[in-house]
Amino acid sequence: MPSLSIIFVSIALAVGVYSLLNKLRSRGSSSLSQRLPPGPRPWPIVGNLPHLGPVPHHSIAALARQYGPLMRLRLGLVDVVVAASAKVAAQFLKAHDANFSSRPPNSGAKYIAYNYQDLVFRPYGPKWRMLRKISSVHLFSGKALDDYRHVRQEEVAVLVKALSNSGSTVVNIGQMLNLCAVNALGRVMLGYRVFGDGSSGSDPRADEFKSMVVEVMVLAGVFNIGDFVPALEWLDLQGVAAKMKKLHRRFDAFLSTIVEEHKANVSQNQQHTDMLSTLISLKDDADGEGGKLSDTEIKALLLNMFTAGTDTSSSTVEWAIAELIRHPNILAQVQQELDRVVGRDRLVSELDLAQLTYLQAVVKETFRLHPSTPLSLPRIAAEDCEINGYHIGKGTTLLVNVWAISRDPAEWTDPLEFRPERFLPGGEKAHVDVRGNDFEVIPFGAGRRICAGMSLGLRLVQLLTASLVHAFDWALPNGLVPEKMNMDEAYGLTLQRAAPLMVQPRPRLAQHVYRA
């Protein structure tokens, strides 16, 4: 533990550096007559960090209502701009996308994501393009998704069977959804289920894994003072870096075991068709300008898949089921559509999804009200640029408030209402999609750094939501009425529910469907 004298000296030095940089910035700005975006007055040293509060996407949205949809913040020594409207977001992520194609330095990428060796946080360049190409071709292409359609359907069927066997037991639907998502991804990535099928009740290993994933998202969502005031980084005032390092060791042990076991199996049997075998085979294949794929990059990719590819999907479906329970008339309409298209003698398949127009509107409305990443992953300006007449300096960090944009009353009628009809023919946003081209709702981001797993995420969320709504009616425990449900958010990198959704599923299909 550093002594108090050292701490005071460090803080004094930070104050001095902060003051000097402020003077240099102000002189440079005045000499160039730069017009900077408006924003709240920063505090000494910490800047606007105190303005962020416990739920930053809410606080930043409130500030944007005061200062405008293009707003400037000073977080410690870091200049930040916030896009809080669809038009402003389009300027950054479409018109100036190339200039904002890299990530700023941050402790999450450094301590958890193998020091920027992953796809999500790696700086834009040849290596990033190589990883993106590998992911696009081998993991998320239309052919790859179609080839493993049966795996997703089988794992959803396992989930449905486990829920039907729960009887009158109250279940934590979020945990079971996460288990399904991890096992579906595990079978594609590794060739086997990572955990049990959920039929024998709670799986401690699965529960621990979900807790690790949630902890990643919570820690990665923290505005760490050390990221914004470098002179204070070594003090780790919030204890964030220490927690990240500890969590990384747990994840690395988990992933290293998987990779080493897989190498041994592949050397004995060359018939593996899972994605990890493909990645291992690419280790010695210098694919284009990016060079060879290392063990660390393979583990970093697995980390991305098992965190961003599981918790985001399961959390979104959990929000969807909660909204449908709160709106029984909408739930009834979805079930009527499913009964008409699918019937009651089989489960939903992915091939049915294109015909489920109202279900797709429900999923879009869930993405709108409950985007899995409420504040976009940050980007950084490679060069100076001008947006809407304002100067954006090189090195400025960009945050897009996805949550605020999708609740903007300038874009949406009754924006706080759960209303899937807005996406149906004749609705206010009938032609708006969630794939990054319509900036009113961008749950997967947009531009070069759009979520690589968007197509998989859409398929899985639609299939899971359709299957649960089709196969079950839903009751709340202990006489809780839907109007009294806790719909509060717990902030992290992903949008978790503050209170897990506890429900009692009641089968509504033919009995033989649940035995399949």
Annotated binding site for heme: 451
Q: Which amino acid would we find at residue 487?
A: M
State the residue for tokens 């089968």. 507
Place of tokens 């998987």: 258
Alpha helices by DSSP H, 269-356: 275-281, 295-308, 311-326, 328-341
Q: What Å distances lie between residue 189 and 276, 304, 344, CA to CA?
A: 5, 12, 32
Phi-psi region of 191 (alpha: psi -120 to 50; beta: other; left: phi over 0): left
DSSP state of 47: B
10 neighbors 232 (Cβ within 8 angstroms): yes
User: DSSP alpha helices (H): ranges in 112-148?
Assistant: 126-134, 142-147
Coil, strand or helix: which one is 141? coil
CA distance 46 to 414: 36
Tokens 């998989």 locate to 456
H-helix or E-strand spanning residue 110: helix 107-111
Would you state the structure tokens that stand for residue 200, as one six-digit string?
A: 């024998």
Cβ contact 156:469 at 8 Å: no
Annotated binding site: 451
Long-range pairs, 221-226, Cβ under 8 A, ≥24: 221/56, 221/375, 221/491, 221/492, 221/493, 221/494, 223/49, 223/52, 223/56, 223/75, 224/106, 224/107, 225/46, 225/49, 225/76, 226/107
442 contacts: CB under 8 Å, gap ≥ 6? 89, 93, 371, 376, 400, 402, 405, 406, 434, 436
Residue whose token pair is 């190589």: 130
Whether the Cβ atoms of residue 312 and residue 372 lie closer than 8 Å to each other:
yes
Distance CA 233, CA 225 (A): 7
Contacts of range 53-56, beta carbons closer than 8 Å, 24 or more positions apart = 54/491, 55/489, 55/491, 56/221, 56/223, 56/375, 56/491
Tell me if 470 sits within 8 A of 462, measured CB to CB: no
| 380 three-class SS | strand
3-state percent breakdown (helix, strand, coil) of the chain, nearest 5: 55, 10, 35
